[in-house]
Structure 1
Amino acid sequence: MNTISEVRCSINEIDSEILRLLAKRKELDIKMADLKYSQGLPVRETRENEQSMQKLMDAGMELNLSPDFVDSVFRTVFANSLSQQISYIQGIVGINHQLNRKLKVSFLGNVGTYSYLATYKYFNSICDYIQPKNCTTFDDIISAVETGECDCGVLPIENTSSGCINEVYDLLQKSNVKIIGELTYPIEHTILVKQDTDLSKIKTLYAHPQPFSQCSDWLHANLPDVELKACSSSSEAMDTVRKLDRDDCAAIGCREAGALYSLKAIHGNIANQKRNITRFIVISMSNIIVPPDIEAKTSITFTTENTPGSLVRVLNVFSSHNINVVKLQSRPRIQNNLDNEPRGVWDETFYADILINVNTPLMTGLMAELRQVTGSIRVLGCYAASDATGR
């Protein structure tokens, strides 16, 4: 083996063998998913993966391979394995409509929040038991998923009345989580009380800041002098009113959730927009693979130069491929370890939801063209569009 071509030929043979082994590993991933599904076991095996990784790094050092290199390679392999297993089980769920396993899920607030209701609505057909992780901030929801404490998290991202939830968009800039699902949930804000009372007696109103924003017109017209006290979640607001047990305190929440706190509604349908709907996203640390026969939505972020026509050039790429952009949102760009571009004072990050499956040749070509007209671009996730799932 004395020539470059001979060495290259040997390297190619090794690469081909690696591919064959990865394909064989994929077959075993599917078998593993099938066994986990039939036995009702969780898909994610954090402790087992960490133990395997340590053994691999130790073995790699004996073969003169750096631990960082081994970690980088097998983190990708493990992530793909998890993605394959989740996708396979989702296929079973699509046939059997029930997945006999447990999921750890983080969401905002406790029992009765809209996030709580949305979480159980989404996962009702996916698992028979949810182990909830009640969080007080959006950041906590994401952190629980990033650390492996939870399999998934549920985040509200926009509302038909108050618009986009900017804090969530900003957190997605800094996080490695993947969007694996979405759902919409109808929001019916009501005034909830513990004691028999009427609106004229209410002096203090408790709610999460979002309901205050979404009901601002009604509050200004009907409770202009009431003190508004913000809570970390709707469940905290309802629990506070339950504990105070006074006729001059009320909370904003939905009628069904209020009943869980022994509260009753004295006035309903108070949102600025009568058709008040919140869109939630479901996050995980691994991508899923959406079957080709299901309408897929892909969420991306990208940056552009601060010059005339830069955004138009990006949108023209979507238009030329007949790709429907169903959401476009801009936020100030946050410098973080996922973004190595130099940052200007007024630089923006754009978020786009596009109706396309990421695992298609069309998407591959689209991304290649987008890289020519963007500063940076990142896929946040590909998932079944909510209209397609009926959720």
Structure 2
Amino acid sequence: MPSKNDLLKFRNEINDVDKKIVQLLAKRKKLVLNIAKSKIKNNQPIRDIQREKYLLEKLTDLAKKNNLDSNYIIRLFQLIIEESVLTQKEILKKSRNDKNINSPTFSFLGPKGSYSQIATLKYAEKHFERYIENACLNFEEVVKSVECKKSDYAILPIENSCSGFINEVLNILKKTKLFIIGEINIPINHCLLGIKKIELSQIQSIYSHPQPFKQCSNFIKQFPNWKIQYTNSTADAMKKITEYKIQNNVALGSEIGGKIYGLKVLYKNLANKKKNITRFIFLARKFATISSTEKTKLTLILNIKKVSKELDKILLILKNKKIIVKKLTSQNIHKKLCKETFYIDIQGNISSPLMQEIIQKIQKITHFVKILGCYPIENTAQILK
């Protein structure tokens, strides 16, 4: 029978073990906090049932080897795991609440790694401390998410220095009730991206959005045997290459996107022009309020008859008032009616009396005038350096 001294000794040893258990649980909790942050950053689910099952199986085996009751170990670690899950859920909840405070949502053509997402990143970081991203399947969905108040801003590529204006986006602008509130110019470096380094002669299929194919048409024409595969976005193309794992298939997209999807750059700078730039516009539900001292641009849509001299009259008004025309493009809207839709960017501020006067004069010439927005001018010269 143990003496009182022996009993005290055993109890002290148990106290030391219990202390170590508490310290190890504290250490475990710190690791749980780091895991939670990683899951939030990478948008991963909090609970992993398969991992929990595997963990309990391993601990059960370990318990048997150490002559411990398996049910006891299972109950103990189920409690520890539940505590871990609750801790992670609390951190996730706090993170969401923090993000939603003054954090606008930006909708763009996704998934992540697309040029639209790159443009969103550069624009949002200029204007906001925090923001939320919403990747969409197509341009229509991008705009509708803002119209339906699911997002605050929509980003659309409107023109490219190689392929010109994007007709699909111009058609959307004609219909939407959103307003352009900003723009950003992004240098575009189209790359061939693959699972591993291969020769051009080994390529069978190439995946991308229709726009990069237009912008790199001179390069693509050299390989008539390549099968062209159209996707919703450049990032979608890269995602497919990663998922299909066919070494002879490649994607046409950005180097940044290639890194996200773990693809290797086969060739760079494939656009028809050396300086390939895409202008992206940002749209919101409300008209932008801009200082009168800021250099601004006004975008209008006009419906004009082809046979008339309406366009000449409008351009003459702008010339007489010394208004700079930044961009002018047109689309046929009805051949029988001989009408065209004109998109025109002019330098000026909608709030100025001069611009109000000019708008009134234009309205008298053509019955349809839509003001798409008034917003700060992006300095393209800095991009081209």
- TM > 0.5 fold call: yes
Are 1:219 and 2:220 counterparts? yes
**Residue aligned with 2:312, SS:** helix
Q: What residue in structure 2 maps to residue 108 of structure 1?
A: 109
The verdict on how the C-alpha distance between 1:266 and 1:367 changes in structure 2, with shifts beyond 3 A counting, is same
Shift in Å, 1:375: 2.0
Larger Rg: 2
| Cα RMSD, aligned residues only | 1.8
Shift in Å, 1:306: 4.1
Are 1:164 and 2:165 counterparts? yes
Q: What residue in structure 2 maps to residue 278 of structure 1?
A: 278
**Residue aligned with 1:123, SS:** helix
**Residue aligned with 2:342, SS:** strand
Shift in Å, 1:344: 5.7
The AA in structure 2 aligned to 1:314 is: I
Cα distance in 2 between the residues matched to 1:377 and 1:351:
10
The AA in structure 1 aligned to 2:365 is: V
* Structure 2 residue ranges without an equivalent (≥5): 1-100
The AA in structure 2 aligned to 1:327 is: K
The AA in structure 1 aligned to 2:224 is: P
Counterpart contact for 1:201–1:247, Cα < 8 Å: no
Counterpart contact for 1:329–1:352, Cα < 8 Å: yes
Are 1:384 and 2:385 counterparts? no
Q: What residue in structure 1 maps to residue 296 of structure 2?
A: 296
Q: What residue in structure 2 maps to residue 131 of structure 1?
A: 132
Q: What residue in structure 2 maps to residue 261 of structure 1?
A: 261
Cα distance in 2 between the residues matched to 1:313 and 1:111:
46
The verdict on how the C-alpha distance between 1:204 and 1:213 changes in structure 2, with shifts beyond 3 A counting, is same
CA offset digits 1:18-44 (Å, max 9, x no partner): xxxxxxxxxxxxxxxxxxxxxxxxxxx
CA offset digits 1:128-157 (Å, max 9, x no partner): 222222111111111111111110000000
Cα distance in 2 between the residues matched to 1:195 and 1:124:
33
Cα distance in 2 between the residues matched to 1:390 and 1:151:
28
Cα distance in 2 between the residues matched to 1:389 and 1:252:
27
Q: What residue in structure 2 maps to residue 242 of structure 1?
A: 242
Shift in Å, 1:390: 6.9
**Residue aligned with 2:283, SS:** strand
Cα distance in 1 between the residues matched to 2:233 and 2:137:
7
Counterpart contact for 1:159–1:279, Cα < 8 Å: yes
Cα distance in 2 between the residues matched to 1:256 and 1:315:
42
Are 1:323 and 2:328 counterparts? no
Counterpart contact for 2:116–2:156, Cα < 8 Å: yes
Q: What residue in structure 2 maps to residue 50 of structure 1?
A: none
The AA in structure 1 aligned to 2:353 is: P
Cα distance in 1 between the residues matched to 2:345 and 2:124:
22
The AA in structure 2 aligned to 1:313 is: K
List aligned pairs for 1:14-163, cutoff 5 A: 101-163=102-164
**Residue aligned with 1:129, SS:** coil
Shift in Å, 1:244: 1.8
Shift in Å, 1:389: 11
Cα distance in 1 between the residues matched to 2:336 and 2:350:
30
* Number of residues of Structure 1 aligned to a counterpart in Structure 2: 283
Cα distance in 2 between the residues matched to 1:356 and 1:388:
17
Cα distance in 2 between the residues matched to 1:321 and 1:127:
37
Cα distance in 2 between the residues matched to 1:305 and 1:203:
47
Cα distance in 2 between the residues matched to 1:193 and 1:282:
32
Shift in Å, 1:388: 8.7
The AA in structure 1 aligned to 2:358 is: L
Counterpart contact for 2:191–2:267, Cα < 8 Å: yes
The AA in structure 2 aligned to 1:213 is: K
Shift in Å, 1:285: 0.6
Shift in Å, 1:313: 0.6
Cα distance in 2 between the residues matched to 1:259 and 1:306:
49
CA offset digits 1:41-89 (Å, max 9, x no partner): xxxxxxxxxxxxxxxxxxxxxxxxxxxxxxxxxxxxxxxxxxxxxxxxx
Q: What residue in structure 2 maps to residue 362 of structure 1?
A: 354
166-175 or 379-388: bigger deviation: 379-388
Q: What residue in structure 1 maps to residue 339 of structure 2?
A: 347
Cα distance in 2 between the residues matched to 1:347 and 1:309:
12
Q: What residue in structure 1 maps to residue 365 of structure 2?
A: 373
Cα distance in 2 between the residues matched to 1:196 and 1:217:
22
Counterpart contact for 1:238–1:261, Cα < 8 Å: yes
Counterpart contact for 1:294–1:388, Cα < 8 Å: no
Counterpart contact for 2:208–2:251, Cα < 8 Å: yes
